[in-house]
Structure 1
Amino acid sequence: MERFKIETGRMKGAPECMRISKFMHGINNPELTKSLNEHVPRTMEEMMIATTAFIRGEAAAANKKKGHMPWKPQDQSKKHANKRHDFRGHSRDGRGANRFTPLTRTPKEILATEANK
């Protein structure tokens, strides 16, 4: 944003609407673009105020995410570094192995009923 201010300050005689348009087309952040398109600023000052407010909001949101402290202290989480449990000696019964009912008819009988249809 500062670079844009410096560069547009050098453009003598450019109308304000052209400066606003150039700034809006140079934005890479889709949320800022959406925000500016919802209320198109009439002056460069309005645009800079809206952009500055957006940037401050983004920075505050990023700081809020960074500042989130877990409810457990860090030292306790390091105790259980190996999260894979030892399942040797445990049976697998009831863990998906016996989900299907056994076939009561042979494949020949199934194909014979299909052919009769």
Structure 2
Amino acid sequence: MAADIATKVATDSTLIGFLTDKEFSIPLAQMLLFVVANSICLLMGRFRIGLVVTYIFVFFWGYIYKREFLIATFEKTEWGMPLYAFFGTFILIMGIIGLLKKDY
């Protein structure tokens, strides 16, 4: 029992502890829309569009739907939220550029 408590205390202060202690719920209608949209993309062979759809849903769920959680998490840091938004936008732009490239 003492080892379990020591392990819990050790992991609570690390990144793994931060990530494993969180709960994240997604509305069923949004999850169904996500699965249907990605299934259509896969069945049509549009893998790149499927990746963009996945990114859009993940960005929406993480940044817009759970905005209060992000604000509470990053309120102690000065650069947390702007960096999250910058890198999210950067990845989206890179994804769009990747979509516009021709396959060789």
* Interval of TM-score (by shorter of Structure 1 and Structure 2): under 0.3
Flag the structure with more relative contact order, 1 or 2, with Cα contacts below 8 A and sequence separation at least 6: 2
Q: What TM-score comes out, normalization by structure 2 length?
A: 0.28
The structure having more radius of gyration, on CA atoms, is 1
- Which TM-score applies when normalising by structure 1? 0.25
